[in-house]
């Protein structure tokens, strides 16, 4: 028998198998059990969260030969045919490839005829936002008052693109992105049923990389199984994804807390050896900073969805709340730098150095070191100068990054390096340049 990918093999065939989305399931189950059925449903959410799956299960619930129910029998002809994707009264249309008004008219011409086999004729239109305006207009009349034997199920990743006239005629269900915890638990259960060995940490890595999409997670798991030769091991998954382990993100943040540029550069050197995705590393860094900020302000609300509470609490005690906010803000802006830069690693290094040198604690320390040799009165003066100097620096960076947005030139990076660090100790520049030289070789 040919191999069936995990995402297809383990596609839920009834509501009880669906992972997450409890809020949507509750409304659908109540509606089905009380037979309070609407004629048009719209499922929205990002890719791979279960829109089409839910729509297919709903079609099965509506057409099960045992009667309308939230628990279809899964044995009758209609149920099995829907599961196998060959039920004649479930018409699946991909709107992306049939955007024209002629296509919609052709579809609607058949609406009036009774279903040939089932109780309802179900039109499942995927990526419905891709239809043209004329198509939407052609659809409106039927959608307002469809024949009693017709149900419309729409799915879209982009509900904002739907005309309000369509939206107001549908019951809308917003599917949520799935949490890493939910994804890793689900992956664990699937791998157990597949009798494959796995490591917990590997599943967390896959869950993080899937960013809320179960289909992506299952596809990555498939990839990991072939990469790691029949199991899902942490080392293999990390090599495959190019993601630094979460541990490296903690180490980076600890380095930031100790305000040591040399530690940070060394860590980036380690990361660089693993064909990394710096955008992903930055995203992990930002999401960790977010959780650290919550742990500082409201420890009870801290999120343990990655099972790493001790590390988060440690970071919360090491980094000041102001620094966490500053790093986060700079990190968000820095994502653009990574995209624009010709050398992603350089942009990533610059970003972390920028976070450090702009941290108030860092300026104070260099100030104290500078002021140690002079007397107290000049020290006061110099601290005032530092404050205005700091503001000036901030302004320069904003201007420089604004210019970068307009015309991304590699030279800007070096210009920025000089502008940013008049206060910074010279060893930063030395290390930075020796590092780039090393890279050129
Ligand atoms: Zn059935």
Query: For the domain that residue 280 is a member of, what is the CATH number?
Result: 1.20.272.10
Q: What's the gap in Å between 145 CA and the centre of ligand 1? A: 28
Q: Do 86 and 192 have their domain in common?
A: no
- Does residue 438 lie within any of the structural domains? no
Q: What's the gap in Å between 78 CA and the centre of ligand 1? A: 6
- Does residue 393 lie within any of the structural domains? no
Q: What's the gap in Å between 187 CA and the centre of ligand 1? A: 28
Q: Do 155 and 201 have their domain in common?
A: no
- Does residue 95 lie within any of the structural domains? yes
Per-residue pLDDT in tens (0 to 9) along the chain, 441 residues: 678 898 888 899 999 999 889 999 999 999 999 989 999 999 999 999 999 999 999 999 999 999 999 999 999 999 999 999 899 999 999 988 888 888 888 888 888 899 988 899 999 999 999 998 888 988 898 898 899 999 999 999 999 999 999 999 999 999 999 998 899 999 999 999 999 999 998 998 899 888 889 999 999 999 999 998 888 998 899 888 876 667 888 899 999 999 888 999 999 998 888 777 888 889 889 999 999 999 999 888 887 766 678 889 999 999 999 999 999 999 999 999 999 988 999 999 999 999 998 888 776 555 555 555 554 444 444 444 445 454 545 544 444 444 454 544 444 444 444 444 444 444 444 444 444 444 444
List, as ranges, residues with CB under 5 A of the ion ligand 1.
Answer: 64, 72-73, 76, 79
- Does residue 383 lie within any of the structural domains? no
Q: What's the gap in Å between 148 CA and the centre of ligand 1? A: 21
**Which structural domain range is residue 146 located in?**
6-174
Q: What's the gap in Å between 23 CA and the centre of ligand 1? A: 24
Which of 174, 207, 231 is the last residue before a domain boundary?
Answer: 174
Crossing angle of helices 51-63 and 22-33, in 10° steps, is: 10
- Does residue 203 lie within any of the structural domains? yes
Q: What's the gap in Å between 150 CA and the centre of ligand 1? A: 19
d(CA 202, CA 382): 51
Q: What's the gap in Å between 152 CA and the centre of ligand 1? A: 20
- Does residue 228 lie within any of the structural domains? yes
Helix ranges (DSSP H) in 341-423:
344-357, 360-371, 376-406, 410-420
Q: Do 170 and 197 have their domain in common?
A: no
User: Any idea what the CATH number is for the domain that residue 191 is in?
Assistant: 1.10.8.60
Q: Do 316 and 336 have their domain in common?
A: yes
Q: What's the gap in Å between 47 CA and the centre of ligand 1? A: 28
Q: Do 295 and 214 have their domain in common?
A: no
Q: Do 119 and 230 have their domain in common?
A: no
Q: Do 423 and 314 have their domain in common?
A: yes
Q: What's the gap in Å between 246 CA and the centre of ligand 1? A: 46
Q: What's the gap in Å between 76 CA and the centre of ligand 1? A: 4
Q: What's the gap in Å between 349 CA and the centre of ligand 1? A: 59
Q: Do 281 and 421 have their domain in common?
A: yes
Q: Do 223 and 272 have their domain in common?
A: no
User: Any idea what the CATH number is for the domain that residue 126 is in?
Assistant: 3.40.50.300
Instruction: Concatenate the DSSP letters of all residues of 214-257 into one string.
Output: HHHHHHHHHHHHHHTTSEE-HHHHHHHHTPPPHHHHHHHHHHHH
- Does residue 162 lie within any of the structural domains? yes
Q: What's the gap in Å between 88 CA and the centre of ligand 1? A: 15
Q: What's the gap in Å between 36 CA and the centre of ligand 1? A: 19
- Does residue 11 lie within any of the structural domains? yes
d(CA 325, CA 312): 15
For the chain, how many structural domains are there in total?
A: 3
Q: What's the gap in Å between 191 CA and the centre of ligand 1? A: 28
Which of 133, 150, 174 is the last residue before a domain boundary?
Answer: 174
User: Please, are residues 76 and 64 in contact by the beta-carbon 8 Å criterion?
Assistant: yes
Q: What's the gap in Å between 83 CA and the centre of ligand 1? A: 10
Q: Do 280 and 412 have their domain in common?
A: yes
Q: What is the pTM of this model?
A: 0.68
Which of 193, 215, 241 is the last residue before a domain boundary?
Answer: 241
């Amino acid at each position: 028998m040919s191999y069936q990918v995990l995402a297809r093999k383990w596609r839920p065939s009834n509501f009880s198998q669906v992972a997450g989305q409890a809020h949507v399931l509750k409304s659908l189950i109540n509606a089905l059990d009380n037979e309070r059925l609407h004629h048009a449903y719209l499922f929205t959410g990002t890719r791979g969260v279960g829109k089409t799956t839910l729509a297919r299960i709903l079609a099965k619930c509506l057409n099960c030969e045992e009667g309308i129910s939230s628990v279809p029998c899964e044995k009758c002809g209609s149920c099995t045919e829907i599961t196998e994707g060959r039920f004649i009264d479930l018409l699946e249309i991909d709107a992306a490839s049939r955007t024209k008004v002629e296509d919609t008219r052709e579809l609607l011409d058949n609406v009036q005829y009774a279903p040939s086999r089932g109780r309802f004729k179900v039109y499942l239109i995927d990526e419905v936002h891709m239809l043209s305006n004329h198509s939407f207009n052609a659809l409106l009349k039927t959608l307002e008052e469809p024949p009693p034997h017709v149900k419309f199920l729409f799915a879209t990743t982009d509900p904002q693109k739907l005309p309000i006239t369509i939206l107001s005629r549908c019951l809308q269900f917003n599917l949520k992105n799935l949490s890493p915890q939910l994804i890793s638990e689900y992956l664990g259960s699937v791998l157990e049923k597949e009798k494959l060995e796995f490591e917990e940490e590997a599943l967390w890595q896959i869950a993080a990389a899937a960013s809320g999409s179960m289909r992506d997670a299952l596809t990555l798991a498939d990839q990991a199984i072939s990469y790691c030769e029949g199991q899902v091991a942490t080392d293999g998954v990390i090599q495959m994804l190019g993601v630094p382990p979460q541990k490296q993100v903690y180490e980076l943040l600890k380095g930031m807390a100790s305000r040591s540029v040399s530690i940070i550069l060394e860590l980036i050197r380690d990361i660089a050896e693993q064909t990394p995705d710096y955008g992903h590393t930055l995203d992990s860094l930002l999401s960790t900073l977010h959780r650290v900020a919550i742990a500082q302000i409201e420890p009870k609300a801290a999120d343990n969805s990655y099972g790493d509470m001790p590390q988060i609490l440690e970071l919360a005690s090491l980094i000041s709340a102001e620094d966490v906010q500053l790093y986060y803000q700079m990190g968000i802006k820095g994502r653009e730098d990574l995209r624009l830069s010709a050398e992603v690693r350089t942009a990533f290094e610059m970003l972390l150095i920028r976070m450090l040198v702009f941290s108030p604690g860092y300026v104070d320390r260099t100030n104290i070191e500078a002021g140690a040799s002079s007397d107290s009165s000049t020290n006061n003066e110099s601290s005032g100068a530092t404050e205005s100097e700091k503001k000036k620096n901030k302004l320069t960076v904003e201007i420089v990054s604004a210019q970068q947005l307009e015309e991304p030139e590699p030279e800007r990076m070096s210009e920025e390096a000089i502008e940013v660090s008049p206060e910074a100790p010279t060893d930063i520049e030395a290390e930075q340049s020796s590092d780039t030289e090393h890279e050129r070789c």
